[in-house]
Structure 1
Amino acid sequence: MTNLFLSIITAVTKVTKANFVTKTRQVEAVQEEFLLSLLKAYQNTEFAKKYKLQEIKNVEQFRNLIPILAYSSYEPFVERITKGENNILTPDPVVHLNRSSGSTGKQKLIPVTKRSRQILNRINQVATGFSAEAIHKRGNSMGEMLMTTSTLISGRTSSGIPYGTSSSGVLHLNLFTKCIYKQLFAQPPEALEVLDPVSRNYICLLFALQNPNLKIIGATFPVLALQLANDLELYSQELIHNLKNGELAPWLKIKPELRHTIEKQFFPNSKRATQLQEILRSEGKLTPLLAWQNLAVVATARGGTSDFYFEKFPAYFGDTPIFGGIYASSEATFGACYDLNTDGAILAIDSGFFEFIPQEEWDAEQPKTLLATEVKAGGYYRILVTNYNGLYRYDIGDVVEVVGFYEQAPIIVFRHRVGGLLSATSEKTSEFHVIQAVKKIQEEFNSPLENFCVTLSENEFPPRYLLNVELPSGSSIPSPEEFLAKFDSALQQLNVSYEEKRQHEVLPSPSLRILASGSFSTVRQRLLDKGIPESHLKFPHISEDRQLLAGLAIEREVKLSGKH
């Protein structure tokens, strides 16, 4: 049955990909058609009435009449949706709300409808078609996939609409999706409803280890793939024992009813257990590449901060190619990757209407934009999107680089968020988050700082946050551990994703490093020496550059004790 589904899906994605490639040869027409079709379908919504969308007849009118909007402009409309009002941002019923922490620390809720989900499914098929073709060229094939992303719904609004991460809505939309899922994924869908990430990884690994011919490992971000590999190595002996006996480890944090449902689907496999035990005995460890020697691809996000984690991949995955899948967020889908081991994604020209703000316009209140056919290779742009989620000229804050073109369609790579982001896993802490947290604890402790920068530790994964501070000459922090605990607490209040990962111990507790006097003056001079004009130099308060503070003297390092 699995092979039949694979054959059908491969055939479908091949056709979808071919149709998409045809569209890349006529980008201007495809973009215009997408926009005008959307405006016609959505012209009677409350948002459309406010901005008079029904009067817009072409692309230029749209760009001239509709302002560039951030989430704050949509928030009053979303609040009405959460209370059960219909036809607000979308004419179709809202079946899910994607939750995103947002750059200001306040969660964003993005409407999802069956129509918007269908469009996401289509661009997923395009990416799958490209990956299947690339894998085939390497003499391998598609097959069963292991992915441990949680599908647990975070909650429901007062009117009953479920909300959570974008992945949490996928399997809850229809029975057909679940049926396909069961044929293609190594673990049962119930395994992804386990809240505790270590337990969820363990259960998913247990099911996946039954199949020596697993082909794909998927992870939203590279650090999560490394965490999965680390769990495989850490629990290898116990996993093999469970596999042999057909039982789940008693220590797993899982609700009794859910445990019972999962246990009914797990059976002993002594032959496979013996095979894995021999690998463990001869190699002294169990890695993904040793467990699944025909692994075809690791599918995970590329661009941004991924390269740092990719440096650690060979130890676990050897030279297994990496495929970026789709470039997407809670708000929109921006592109489909088209080859293995490449960061570029082809702009998703039939999934949204896109505009690009060039660097020279970033400080303007209502900047001039470029269309997809007007951008240049090598240029950096803020990207805007209009889509079936009910967003118009939406500024997500992503900065992308155009690295080339696929036919006429731009190939884009996510570089960073406006102002930068810090992610040890996928929590997306912004500079705003840490500035507000530090401001709060400075006021509470009456301990002004000369300067500070939050970085990530080098030799751990997930890495821990390092709060690097320089104190004014002659001053001190009376209770450094309490100071650090308050920073951690403040950051959790500001960033819901950071809070979730700290509460579930995905993210280790932060450390406080008190640097010697003059440290940040040294860093500032380093940046100037790199050629950054003094008038343009804005000292970063967050940085994923592990070398930014290299060589600075650390007078004291403080970690949280067990009581925190």
Structure 2
Amino acid sequence: MDGKKLEYKGVEALKELERLTSKPNEVQEDILRKILAQNWDTEYLNKFMGKSATKSVSQFKKSVPVITYKGIRPYILRIGNGEDSSLITGHPITEMLCSSGTSAGEPKLVPSIAEDLDRRTFLYNLIMPIINQYVPGLGEGKAMYLYFVKAEMSTPCGLPARTVLTSYYKSCHFKQRPHDPFNDLTSPDAAILCYDGHQTMYCQLLAGLIHRRRVLRLGAVFASAFLRAISFLERHWRDFCLDIRTGKLHDDITDPDCRSAMLDLLEPDPDLADEIEQICCQTTPWKGIVCRLWPNARYIEAVVTGSMSQYVPALKYYSDEKFPLICPMYASSECYFGVNLNPLCDPTEVSFTLLPNMGYFEFIPLGENGKFLMDFDDDDEEEDGVPPSMLVDLVHVKLGCYYELVVTTFSGLYRYRIGDVLLVTGFHNHTPQFRFICRRYVVLSIDNDKTNEEDLHRSITAATRKHLESRNALLVEYTSYADTSSVPGHYVIYWEINNTIHPHAPPISTEVLEECCIAVEEGLDYVYRRCRTNDKSVGPLEIRVVKAGTFEKLMDLFIAQGGASINQYKAPRCVKSKAALKLLNANLSGCYFSPRDPTWNP
């Protein structure tokens, strides 16, 4: 990819998108040839393809194995300890990107080279031209996007180790971005680049309130981060009003760059403070608070697919269902993948068009006609578990079929299993479009049962819709673990519930929560219900309700442990950390069990 493509804007960006998606096979073959030419003399490729001066595409597909992180980790650790980048890539590794660790259980270090930032910026530059086709006039106002960085670490040899978003926000690509209307953010860069979580959240929300009438776009990377901001706003709106009324910044903001930048924004505005105070005082509960505070906003942008889809009811509640929820892109620490070309679609219908110039994409077939053909086994970490001949190229995936995504990158990942399950939903020109389904690994298992993330999420969503939302209560967050401390073991699900969204709603009763337990069990698969009912090898499901704010404490715990930033954080759907379990169990408000066996028909 030429550097000049970073300058594509508007119509030019859309033309480039059309060009790429019109000939994905040609683009993909060219990408793989360039990767092999750039990295031909690496120790890793020589191990499987020999030391020939050229390495062909056919040789690569025949000889290079499919791997998980375990297969590349030794090379990454060697580079982190000071060995040369040529172990895996022909260009110098400039940093290690830290994955969040909340999906797979522990953070991973992912190698990155300088030109990777060019690819990420290329994808970012497509998003606004795509959305502007459906929501015109976005350049006439500001964007209140909540962005967060995380303090950097370093490897033993001194390579920076940071999250992929911290890498981008600290790069010249972000700091020297064109000052065009699409890049007009409410927050000064100093507020975004502040490492202190409280100070950066405070300043970004304060800046958003100062510019409330000019805000046309709202968002955060993940829906969970946006909802955390609303919770923060609910606790601190009086402080914001005082700052705006007096033109003085709260004493808690001590970061010098952040304080200086915010003082440049602040000036006494009693009328604005009165407006915000009136809205926040009279809106109890806070239904529709977002559209009242930012009345000219057109949409909320955030990831709402996969595990983030559980936040959709809360987002709709706080926006009074007046804003579309736009999920713009699909990306990971390892590689940026694609964009949503139908941004105003329902969150349940989001599909992503994979951009064939981002990396080389292959796919492990998992099933068709709505059924998976391969087990979701959390122990399936063997590098030789998937024969290379099984993989399907991007242009050969089939409509309606399920696949696990495999990626090869310029920075030294070869046939690397991302772990995401995708469903082919259609095509744009000749390029497939995919819906994210779930992470492929099991989250819960006691006996022969193997419950994956999608099944757990689907059963919880159905139970809460029937028993909580109908009673004016929302599920704020959930996680789970398999409790084997007694025999038989059983599933434990931690729920944080908000039942204050309606002023006259009664408390959620024991009977309702027991019905939730059985409803979740009824939504799980045949094997689980057999183990519960017939084999008696799994005990009754338990819901442990935790106090308000518990999952924010859990987020703080994981962030403090050095994995995710607020941008990246996804609540783990299964916890194994003793510290996390201790925190959850220390904040219980009640425990409830299934009152009967789920139905099961042999």
TM-score by length of 2: 0.70
**CA distance in structure 1 between the partners assigned to 2:355 and 2:6 by the alignment:** 20
Structure 1 residues 229 and 9, CA, compared in 2 at 3 Å: closer, same or farther?
farther
Give the drift of 1:225. Answer: 1.5
2:7 corresponds to 1:47: no
SS in structure 2 opposite 1:239?
A: helix
**CA distance in structure 1 between the partners assigned to 2:140 and 2:488 by the alignment:** 54
Of the three residues 16, 19, 24, the one matched with 2:16 is 19
Give the drift of 1:415. Answer: 0.9
Q: Where do 5+ consecutive residues of structure 2 fail to align? A: 368-372, 376-383, 443-451, 461-476, 501-515, 522-531, 540-545, 572-576
Of the three residues 405, 411, 425, the one matched with 2:433 is 411
**CA distance in structure 1 between the partners assigned to 2:562 and 2:272 by the alignment:** 41
Q: Which residue of 2 aligns with 1:381?
A: 403
**CA distance in structure 1 between the partners assigned to 2:274 and 2:435 by the alignment:** 44
Q: Which residue of 1 aligns with 2:131?
A: 131
Q: Which residue of 2 aligns with 1:478?
A: none
SS in structure 1 opposite 2:424?
A: strand
Of the three residues 362, 366, 377, the one matched with 1:359 is 366
2:109 corresponds to 1:109: yes
Structure 1 residues 67 and 11, CA, compared in 2 at 3 Å: closer, same or farther?
closer
Give the drift of 1:331. Answer: 1.1
Task: Report if aligned partners of 2:148, 2:565 keep a CA contact under 8 Å in 1.
Answer: no
RMSD of Structure 2 on Structure 1 (CA): 4.3
Of the three residues 414, 419, 426, the one matched with 1:392 is 414
**CA distance in structure 1 between the partners assigned to 2:151 and 2:94 by the alignment:** 12
Give the drift of 1:28. Answer: 1.1
Give the drift of 1:226. Answer: 1.9
**CA distance in structure 1 between the partners assigned to 2:58 and 2:497 by the alignment:** 49
Of the three residues 67, 79, 84, the one matched with 2:77 is 79
Q: Which residue of 2 aligns with 1:450?
A: 489
Q: Which residue of 2 aligns with 1:348?
A: 355
Structure 1 residues 9 and 188, CA, compared in 2 at 3 Å: closer, same or farther?
farther
The aligned amino acid for 1:242 is D
2:88 corresponds to 1:89: yes
How far does the alpha carbon of each residue in 1:303-354 deviate from its partner, in whole angstroms, 9 at most, with x for none?
Answer: 2133321122233224222221210111111211112233111012110111
Percentage of identical aligned residues: 22
Task: Report if aligned partners of 1:42, 1:91 keep a CA contact under 8 Å in 2.
Answer: yes
Give the drift of 1:113. Answer: 1.7
**CA distance in structure 2 between the partners assigned to 1:244 and 1:109 by the alignment:** 46
Q: Which residue of 2 aligns with 1:338?
A: 341
Structure 1 residues 346 and 493, CA, compared in 2 at 3 Å: closer, same or farther?
closer
2:323 corresponds to 1:320: yes
Q: Where do 5+ consecutive residues of structure 1 fail to align? A: 1-7, 475-480, 535-564
How far does the alpha carbon of each residue in 1:378-436 deviate from its partner, in whole angstroms, 9 at most, with x for none?
Answer: 21111111112321111021001111111111111111011245899xxx9998xx45x
Q: How does 1:68-467 map to 2 (within 5 A)?
A: 68-87=66-85, 88-100=87-99, 101=101, 105-136=105-136, 140-141=138-139, 143-174=141-172, 177-180=174-177, 184-211=184-211, 212-250=213-251, 252=252, 255-257=254-256, 260-270=259-269, 271-280=271-280, 287-317=289-319, 318-342=321-345, 343-359=350-366, 362=374, 365-367=385-387, 368-418=390-440, 419=442, 420-421=452-453, 434=481, 438=483, 442=485, 447-459=486-498
Structure 1 residues 348 and 198, CA, compared in 2 at 3 Å: closer, same or farther?
same
The aligned amino acid for 1:452 is Y
Give the drift of 1:214. Answer: 1.4
The aligned amino acid for 2:299 is V
Q: Which residue of 2 aligns with 1:538?
A: none
Give the drift of 1:68. Answer: 0.4
Give the drift of 1:104. Answer: 5.1
**CA distance in structure 2 between the partners assigned to 1:218 and 1:458 by the alignment:** 23
**CA distance in structure 1 between the partners assigned to 2:499 and 2:221 by the alignment:** 19
Structure 1 residues 269 and 290, CA, compared in 2 at 3 Å: closer, same or farther?
farther
Give the drift of 1:72. Answer: 0.8
SS in structure 2 opposite 1:69?
A: coil
Q: Which residue of 1 aligns with 2:446?
A: none
**CA distance in structure 2 between the partners assigned to 1:49 and 1:429 by the alignment:** 46
Count of equivalent residues:
485
How far does the alpha carbon of each residue in 1:4-33 deviate from its partner, in whole angstroms, 9 at most, with x for none?
Answer: xxxx99962431232121121111111111
The aligned amino acid for 1:163 is A
Task: Report if aligned partners of 1:103, 1:430 keep a CA contact under 8 Å in 2.
Answer: no
How far does the alpha carbon of each residue in 1:494-521 deviate from its partner, in whole angstroms, 9 at most, with x for none?
Answer: 996589989999x9735666555885xx
TM-score by length of 1: 0.74
Structure 1 residues 269 and 499, CA, compared in 2 at 3 Å: closer, same or farther?
closer
Q: Which residue of 2 aligns with 1:556?
A: none
The aligned amino acid for 1:459 is N
How far does the alpha carbon of each residue in 1:131-188 deviate from its partner, in whole angstroms, 9 at most, with x for none?
Answer: 122221xx654642223332123311222222122111113233x5313388632112
Task: Report if aligned partners of 1:335, 1:412 keep a CA contact under 8 Å in 2.
Answer: no
Give the drift of 1:210. Answer: 1.7
**CA distance in structure 2 between the partners assigned to 1:83 and 1:23 by the alignment:** 39
Task: Report if aligned partners of 1:47, 1:89 keep a CA contact under 8 Å in 2.
Answer: yes
Q: Which residue of 1 aligns with 2:64?
A: 66
Whose relative contact order is higher, 1 or 2, with alpha carbons under 8 Å and at least 6 apart?
2
SS in structure 1 opposite 2:27?
A: helix
Larger CA deviation: 223-232 vs 388-397: 223-232
**CA distance in structure 1 between the partners assigned to 2:298 and 2:410 by the alignment:** 34
Structure 1 residues 24 and 70, CA, compared in 2 at 3 Å: closer, same or farther?
same
Larger CA deviation: 265-274 vs 47-56: 47-56
SS in structure 2 opposite 1:117?
A: helix
